[in-house]
Amino acid sequence: MDSLVRNYLDQYGVSDATRRFLAKPQKMFIDGAWVDSANGATFDIFEPSTGGLVTRAPSGTADDLDRAVRAARRQFDGGEWRRLKPLERERLLHRLADLIETHGDELAEIEAIDMGKSVTFAREIDIQGTVDTFRYFAGWPSKLHGRTVEPSIPGNYLAYTRKEPLGVVAAIVPWNFPLQTMAWKVAAALAAGCTVIVKPAELTSLSTLRFAELVQEAGFPDGVVNIVTGKGSVIGAAMSAHPGINKVTFTGSTPVGQEVGRTAVGNLKHVTLELGGKSPVLVLDDADLASAARAVANGVFFNSGQVCDAGTRVYVQRSVHDAFLDELIAVTRTLKLAPGLDRDCYIGPMVSAQQKKVVAGYIEAGRREGAKLVHGGATPEGPGHFIEPAIFAHCTPDMSIVREEIFGPVLVTSPFDTLEEAVSLANDTPFGLAAAIYSNDLARVHTLIPQLHAGSVYVNAHSTIDPSMPFGGFKDSGFGKDLGPEQLDYLMETKAVWITLP
C-alpha cells in the first residue's frame, strides 16, 4: 500500500479488520486452498479516490483455471457437495448469509476502497443486497422439484420430470457492484446444486477474495466455490472455451458478452448474458415533478452513474420540460462529490483513470455535437478520478451521448409531445435493459408498460432490485435472468422420465 492510500485510510478511518485484510498478501481460492498464480504473476489494485496503490492480486493462468475446474467437477460429479441433502445446502447458505452480515461493515469498507463507491451506500445497498440474495436463495434447495404427468398416448406409463443442477458454473463479474453481482450468480447456482468458479473484474477483486474466506468459514466443502483472479482476456476467455464448464453466466459490456456468447455456444455451454444499457425515462405532464426529479437524479447518478440500468435518457412531456429540468438541476446540486470513504459521499470517483477518460470524452462529444450542457460536467484535476454529474438538454436522437452507453454520471434530456412519440424515442436504442415512467395516471402508465422494450419497467421509481424479482435485459442487453425463481430455471436441467407399467 502506498502513502496516498495509507493517508486516505487514516484521514477517514477504517476498521482494524479492513486494515488487516488489505495488509496481507492476496491469493486466489482454488479447491479450498489459498494459492498464487501458476506463473507467479500479479496485477496492481488501485484506490480510485486517490489513484494510489492498495495491493496486488494473483494474475491467474489457464492452468489455474484448469485446477479450479477439476475441483468443481470433483464436487459436482459425486463429491460431498452432491451428496448433501437440500436442507443441508440451505443451512450452509444461511450460515454464509449470517457471516456476510456479521462482517458487513468491513466488506463495505473494502468495496469502497477497491471500487471508489460511497461506503454508506456500499453497506446499505451492496452488502445488504448480498446478504438478502444469499438468504433468499437459501430457502430454495428444498423447494426444487419436477412434476408428475398423465400421458394421453396408448399404453400405461409413469411419467415425471426431475430438476437436476446443470453442473459447473463459471461466473464472470464486472466492477460496478462487485460483491452483489457475484452474489446474484453464486447464491442461485449453489441453491440449484451447482458448483462455481468466479472471475471477478481485475479492477475490483478484493471483496470477492474476502467473501471466499467466509465461504471457507461457513464450512462449504473444498472446491464448491473457487475464485480465480486475473485478466478477462485470459481467465474469462478460457472459461467460455473450457470443456469442463457447463454454463457461463456473464455480466459486463455488450461487445465482450457477444464474444463470450459466441465461444460458449460454440462448445454448447449454457449462457446467461447480462449486458449494457441506455435506459429511457418518461416523465409525463401529470407527474409529481419534485419527487420525480429526486428519483430520476438517483436513477442516473447513483454509484456515479456506473449502473447498467441507469436511466440516462430522460424524455419529458413538453409542457413540464423546463420546470422539470429546473427541479432536476436543483436536486443534482445537492449530491455531494467526495471520496468513497466520506460517509456523506453521494458521487464518488470513476472506478479508474481510463473510465474517467471515457466519460470525459463523451461530455466533450456532447458539447461538440450541439447538446446544451445545463449543469456540471467538469473534470477536476487529480488526485482521484472525479467527474461532476453532467446534464445535457435539447439532445437529438443521433448524438453519441444519446445512443451509446457512457457508464458515468451523464444524463441527456429532450422534450416529447405525445405518448406515441415517447414510446418511439424510448425504444429507439439497441439496448433493452430497463425503462422508467413517472406519472400518476394509471391508464396512461398501463398503456405504456407493454409497449416498452425492456426487461424491467419501473414506475415512479428507478432500479428497485429485490432477490425475489428477476433482472435481465431484452435485445442487446442480453438474455437469461438473474434473481427470482426464474434464475433457477437457467441453472437446472429438466429430465423427462418414462416408466412402462405392466
Query: Is position 60 an interface residue for ligand NAD (rule: CB under 6 A)?
Result: no
Residues annotated as catalytic are 274, 308
Binds ligand NAD (CB under 6 A): choice among 72, 237, 314, 448? 237
- Number of residues interacting with ligand NAD: please give it, by CB under 6 A: 29
Nearer to ligand NAD, 118 or 240 (CB): 240
79 or 480, CB closer to ligand NAD? 480
57 binds ligand NAD (CB under 6 A): no
| Alpha carbon distances (Å) from 429 to 31, 398, 477 | 43, 11, 10
At residue 272, φ and ψ (nearest 5 deg) are: -120, 130
Cβ proximity to ligand NAD, 106 vs 132, nearer residue:
132
Nearer to ligand NAD, 404 or 441 (CB): 404
CA dist 323 to 319, 406, 437, 492, Å?
8, 26, 17, 51
CB of 333 to ligand NAD, least distance (A): 27
User: What whole-number distance in Å separates Cα of residue 501 and Cα of residue 393?
Assistant: 71
| Window contacting ligand NAD (CB under 6 A); options: 54-62, 121-129, 135-143, 231-239 | 231-239
**Beta strands at 478-479 and 270-274: parallel, antiparallel or unpaired:** antiparallel
Q: Is 42 in the site for ligand NAD (CB under 6 A)?
A: no
Residue 308 interacts with ligand NAD (CB under 6 A): yes or no: yes
Q: For residues 421-460, which are near ligand NAD according to CB under 6 A? A: 433
Q: How far is the CB of 274 from ligand NAD (least distance, A)?
A: 3
Cell triple for residue 34? 489459498
Q: Considering the complex, what minimum distance in angstroms separates the CB of residue 247 from ligand NAD?
A: 14
Instruction: Select from 275-283, 292-300, 413-421, 436-444 the region that touches ligand NAD (CB under 6 A).
Output: 275-283
Binding status of residue 188 toward ligand NAD by CB under 6 A: no
For ligand NAD, the closer of residues 404 and 428 by Cβ is: 404
Type of residue numbered 439: S
Residue 348 as a binder of ligand NAD (CB under 6 A): the answer is no
Q: Which stretch binds ligand NAD (CB under 6 A): 247-255, 296-304, 338-346, 421-429?
A: 247-255
Q: Which of 67, 497, 49, 435 is nearest to 242 (CA)?
A: 67
Stretch that binds ligand NAD, among 69-77, 168-176, 327-335, 385-393 (CB under 6 A): 168-176
Q: How far apart are CA 132 and CA 134, in angstroms?
A: 6
Segment contacting ligand NAD by CB under 6 A, of 48-56, 131-139, 218-226, 252-260: 252-260
By the rule CB under 6 A, 104 interacts with ligand NAD: no
How far apart, in whole angstroms, are the C-alpha atoms of residue 340 and residue 51? 12
Determine, following the binding rule CB under 6 A, whether residue 211 of this chain makes contact with ligand NAD.
no
In the complex, least distance from residue 202 CB atom to ligand NAD, rounded to whole angstroms: 6
Q: How far apart are CA 383 and CA 50, in angstroms?
A: 5
Q: Which residues of 386-405 are buried (b: 16+ CB within 10 A; e: fewer)?
A: bbbbbbbbebeeebebbebb
Quick check: 229 binds ligand NAD (CB under 6 A)? no
Counting Cβ atoms within 10 Å, is residue 309 exposed (0-12), middle (13-18) or buried (19+)? buried
Positive or negative, the CA dihedral 21, 26, 28, 29 is negative
* Cell digits of residue 127: 452488502
Pairing of strands 434-438, 456-459: parallel
Region of 248-256, 330-338, 370-378, 418-426 interacting with ligand NAD (CB under 6 A)? 248-256
Q: Which cell goes with 181? A: 453481482
Q: Are 54 and 113 in contact (CB under 8 A)?
A: yes
Least distance in angstroms from the C-beta of 376 to ligand NAD: 22
DSSP H or E stretch at residue 197: strand 195-199
| Least distance in angstroms from the C-beta of 206 to ligand NAD | 14
Of 454, 448, 501, the C-alpha closest to 477 is 454
**Sign of dihedral through CA atoms 147, 153, 158, 163?**
negative
How far apart are the C-alpha atoms of 239 and 245, rounded to whole Å?
A: 7
| Smallest separation (angstroms) from ligand NAD to the CB of 292 | 24
Residue closer to ligand NAD (CB basis): 126 or 202 = 202
Q: Does 256 bind ligand NAD (CB under 6 A)?
A: yes
Does residue number 410 form part of the binding site for ligand NAD (CB under 6 A)?
A: no
Our CB check for ligand NAD shows the closer of 233 and 440 to be 233
State which residue, 202 or 327, has the beta carbon closest to ligand NAD. 202
**Phi and psi of 251, rounded to 5°?**
-125, 130
**Given the rule CB under 6 A, which residues bind ligand NAD?**
172-176, 199, 201-202, 232-233, 236-237, 240, 251-253, 256, 259-260, 274-277, 308, 405, 407, 433, 473, 477
